[in-house]
Structure 1
Amino acid sequence: MAKKKKPKDVSAEFRNTQLTDALQTQDMAAVAFALRHGPTVVPLLRPGSRDDPRDSGEVWTYRDPATGDVALLLFSDATHKPATLPPHVGLHSPLWLRDFLATHGEVITTVFFDIAGPHPLQAAPADLLAALEA
């Protein structure tokens, strides 16, 4: 009789423990270090194609219907993403985040980390870009 494979815990792979710790202390230097040296969990409107490693999916952003302001929501851990957001997440590198902010920083008005907790933090895209380039 063949053994059934135990399902892989994907959520264990979608986290940045250093970023979680930095958000807990609200230490901006530690947040910057964690962003420069580890991945960031990003909600996706459309997941990337498994057959195309260049396709990282389509990042979901929030547009305030009253003001038109656009917010990028990032997470230190996939378990911190509210269920009301799109179900898919991507794990993106510091280089990806730097390039994304450099490309879309003029449109994005704010970046939220772990918006629903346990330790939310808000930052300006330009500040994050400067931290990533330091």
Structure 2
Amino acid sequence: MAGKKRARREPELEFRNTALSDALQTQDMAAVAFALRHGPTVVPLLRAGARDDPRDAGEVWTYRDPESGDLALLLFSDAAHKPESLPPTVALQSPAWLRAFLGRHREAVTTVFFDIAGPHPMQASPDDLIAALDA
């Protein structure tokens, strides 16, 4: 087998935050805050970021209520919890990214839903999440 190179397999990126999933199961806001401060969040994207540009995180998909005009940010503890009806692309975003996004869009986003289709949905205001991330 001389001269034969083995293909090196990159470890698969897991699009989940187990601590967030556990916190949502118990509906414990303190545990949700801890999970958000110390782990990633799965975010649906309308457009994926450019692979060659680390500054391009893509375009986040948000939901606008057609009757009220309210804008909601949908976040997931696991990509498997994202409904099929949402755009197929997701990103795994850091706590710093989430804090910056909420700070930049806190006037426009009226609510944030976690795992909206289950198994353990929860909702919070952007201000509550910013306070949790800043704690």
Tell me the TM-score normalized by structure 2. Answer: 0.91
| Secondary structure in structure 2 of the residue aligned to 1:13 | coil
The alignment yields a C-alpha RMSD, in angstroms, of 2.0
Q: 1:9 to 1:61 in 2, by over 3 A?
A: farther
Q: Which residue is equivalent to 1:125? A: 126
Deviation at 1:59, TM superposition (A): 0.2
Q: TM-score scaled to structure 1, two decimals?
A: 0.92
Deviations 1:8-49 (A, max 9, x none): 885x61000000000000000000000000000000000011
Q: Distance in 1 between matches of 2:53 and 2:21?
A: 30
User: Is residue 31 from structure 1 mapped to residue 39 from structure 2 by the alignment?
Assistant: no
Percent of residue pairs identical: 74
Counterpart Cα distance in 2 of 1:120 and 1:8: 32
Deviation at 1:52, TM superposition (A): 1.0
Q: Counterparts of 1:54 and 1:107 in 2: how far apart (Å)?
A: 23
Deviations 1:51-73 (A, max 9, x none): 11111100000000111000000
**Counterparts in 2 of 1:73-112, with a 5 A limit?**
73-112=74-113
In structure 1, runs of 5+ residues without a counterpart are none
Structure 2 letter corresponding to 1:110:
T
- Gaps (5+ residues) in structure 2? none
Does the alignment pair 1:51 with 2:52?
yes
Deviations 1:62-119 (A, max 9, x none): 0001110000000000000000000000000000000000000110000000000000
The one-letter code matched in structure 1 to 2:122 is L
Aligned residues: 132
Look at both structures and tell me which one has the larger radius of gyration over its CA atoms: 2
